[in-house]
Amino acid sequence: MPCSAKTELLRRHASGNFRDLLLYITEDPAMVLYLNTQQNRKNSPNENYARELLELFTMGTGNYTEKDIKEAARAFTGISVDQQTGEAIYRANQHDFGVKTFLGKTGDLQPADIIDAILEQPATAEYIARKFWSYFAYADPDDAIIKALGGVLRDNKYELKPMLRTMFMSEAFYAKRAMLTNIKSPVELVVGTMRALEIPPVDTANINIGMRLMGQSLMQPPNVKGWDGGETWITASTLFNRYNVLGALIAGNDNEQGRRRRQRVIEAIRNSTGKEGQAAEEALSRLQPPYDPTAAMRKYRLVTAEKTVDHYVQRLLQRPLKPDRKKVLLDALKPRFRAGDIESSQNVELIRGLIHLIVSMPEYQLS
């Protein structure tokens, strides 16, 4: 199954009903292949998906038994993928129709029965609420916060939007502990920068390489748990790459040096055969233009160094800087800034340098 189809599935259901999401994921061809459900047959159950469903996706360890994993695996037997079409199929002759007992429920349990039994457990709603809070706010939240959010989730039959609304409108979500404490993932860092500066992602090949250098290969998580995130994003090498990747995005590579380098790479893959080689060559033919601040200069009348620094600090950091930190930026921009000259090419280059300084600040690594 193409990654794009998997991504669309998640986009459609990410803020919808969690039960629906679980049902779709259970039979999603990408998940079936990734966690070996196609090998889960009535005479030789494969427990991979059942184990991860309970441990990572819904309940968390300590809320089920090994027997529950085995019984859930039996209920998921028969789900497979058609090798010709790549679509999910159900092989009834490989399904275990026997009586199963899972989390206290007994009968000829099917996948939907397993998921419903999971969702009936209070631990599930709180586990999901904790995941959301940890992602959007901070790790290790107070139990009272999680119990309240879990209650909202259960009361709304696992519709996610009411819980998200409650979370985003709570006082705790805007407390000091929650503000600017999360380290941005490479995707958040790069995509957030492009959105803030309205940079079109033209050179997607290099952008993907840059994110891989920062430790996050798109569509390629290191394991079923995904990326650990947090402080693991920052090492001596990845921090260096974070600065360089954003610098390259701002400066662009649509220049003589960039074109020469691209041509050498394209020539090196010309011998590749098939669609992969053609796709690689096509991707490498695209060059990223440098960020052009002229539109912002005109729109916001950035006619002085002070106004320019204030604008980009607010746009990118969304918080005031201490006077000594702001002085560093002004000292870098002001001596050569041509005040009042919005059309100045010199100012354009200076502003690119200013932005590179801002995105290289420790403050910019946090959300």
- In terms of Cβ atoms closer than 10 Å to its own Cβ (0-12, 13-18, 19+), residue 169 is exposed
Instruction: For 74-98, write each residue's pLDDT tens digit.
Output: 999 999 999 899 899 999 999 999 9
Residue with tokens 């037997």: 77
Please give the residue that has the higher pLDDT: either 1 or 11: 11
- In terms of Cβ atoms closer than 10 Å to its own Cβ (0-12, 13-18, 19+), residue 40 is buried
Q: What is the pLDDT of residue 14?
A: 87
Name the pTM for this structure. 0.83
305 token code pair: 């160094």
Q: What is the pLDDT of residue 259?
A: 64
Q: Which letter does DSSP use for residue 81 in this model?
A: E
Instruction: For 153-183, write each residue's pLDDT tens digit.
Output: 999 999 999 999 999 999 999 998 998 888 9
Return the SS3 of 270.
Answer: coil
Residue with tokens 């789900």: 79
Give the number of other Cβ atoms within 10 Å of residue 349's Cβ: 14
Instruction: For 225-249, write each residue's pLDDT tens digit.
Output: 899 998 999 999 999 999 999 999 9
Instruction: For 198-234, write each residue's pLDDT tens digit.
Output: 999 988 888 999 999 999 998 888 998 899 998 999 9
As a 3-state breakdown, the chain gives helix, strand, coil percent values, each rounded to 5, of: 60, 5, 35
> Mean pLDDT in the chain?
90
Q: What is the pLDDT of residue 1?
A: 44
Q: What is the pLDDT of residue 283?
A: 55
Instruction: For 272-319, write each residue's pLDDT tens digit.
Output: 655 555 655 565 567 888 999 999 999 999 999 999 999 999 999 988
80 backbone dihedrals φ, ψ, rounded to 5° = -150, -170
Does residue 257 surpass a pLDDT of 50?
yes
Average pLDDT on 28-32 reads 92
**Residues above pLDDT 70, as percent of the chain:** 90
Average pLDDT on 37-63 reads 95
Q: What is the pLDDT of residue 8?
A: 84
190 backbone dihedrals φ, ψ, rounded to 5° = -75, -50
Q: What is the pLDDT of residue 365?
A: 94
* Distance separating alpha carbons of residues 175 and 141, to the nearest angstrom: 12
Average pLDDT on 99-110 reads 96
- In terms of Cβ atoms closer than 10 Å to its own Cβ (0-12, 13-18, 19+), residue 144 is exposed
CB 182 within 8 A of CB 367: yes
Q: What is the pLDDT of residue 218?
A: 86
* Distance separating alpha carbons of residues 287 and 263, to the nearest angstrom: 11
DSSP secondary structure, 89-127, as one string: EE-GGGS--S-EEETTEEES--HHHHHHHHHTSHHHHHH
Q: What is the pLDDT of residue 39?
A: 94
